[in-house]
Amino acid sequence: MRVDIVLYDGFDELDAVGPYEVFSTAAAFGADFDVRLVTLDDREQVTASHGLRVGVDGVLPDSDADDRSGLLIVPGGGWNDRSEAGARAEAERGAIPHAVSDLYDAGATVASVCTGGMLLATAGLTDGRPAVTHGGALDDLRASGADVVDARFVDDGDLLTAGGVTSGIDLSLHLVEREAGAEIADRVAAELEYERRETPYRG
C-alpha cells in the first residue's frame, strides 16, 4: 500500500514523523507499505511548526495517477494559534483540501492527525461523520458539520481522524493492525517501546 504523508509549512513535527516511523518500521517487519513524505509543490524541504526542516520524497500524485495514494495522512499544526503557516493557512488556501477530496473520491483512505482534521473538514469529508481533532479545535470541527465524538481516534472505514499530536501514533498502529495484522502492529509498538491505546471509536 502506498502511504503518503502530505507536508506543508507549519505542520506539527510529531503529527507526521510519528506515523512515518510507525509505517516505516512495519514495512521493515514485512508489511506491504511504501511510505513517503510528499508536498503539493515540487520542493526539497518543508519547515515545520517548531522549526525542524524536513526533506521530502516527492510530489503528491494526482488522483488519476497509477501511483496515487492508497492511504493519505494529513498532519495538523498552526490551527489553534492562527499561525501564518500551518493547517489554518492551508485551509484558507484550499489546495490541500482540494487534493484530499480528489484522492478520497478516487478511492484512497484518508486519515488525519490533530488539526489535520480541520483540513478534512474543509474538504467536506467529515460532514455528518464521527470525527475528532485536537481539543483546542473541537468547537471548530463541530461547527463544520462533523459529529464530534469523545475518543482518542476514530475509525469510520475510509475516513480516520485522531486527536492531539501523539494520538497519531495510536492511529497509525491501528491502521497497521487493520492492514497487516496484529502481530506486526505489536512488533512495531514493542520496537518503539510505545504503550498502545488500542480501542478506536468506530462509526
C-alpha cell at 131: 470525527
pLDDT of residue 113: 98
Q: What is the DSSP string of 158-174?
A: SEEEE-STTHHHHHHHH
What's the pLDDT at 51? 97
pLDDT at 201: 84
Would you state the pLDDT for residue 179?
A: 97
| 29-40 pLDDT tens trace | 999 999 999 999
**Where along the chain do its domains lie?**
2-202
Amino acid 19 reads P
Q: Check whether 203 has a pLDDT greater than 80.
A: no
For residues 109-117, average pLDDT: 98
C-beta separation of 86 from 136 below 8 A = no
Q: Model pTM?
A: 0.97
Q: Give the angle 9-13-14 at the CA atoms, nearest 5°.
A: 150
Share of the chain above pLDDT 70, in %: 100
Mean of the per-residue pLDDT values of the chain: 96
Fold of 2-202: Rossmann fold (3.40.50)
Please determine, for residue 198, whether its predicted confidence score (pLDDT) is greater than 80. Answer: no
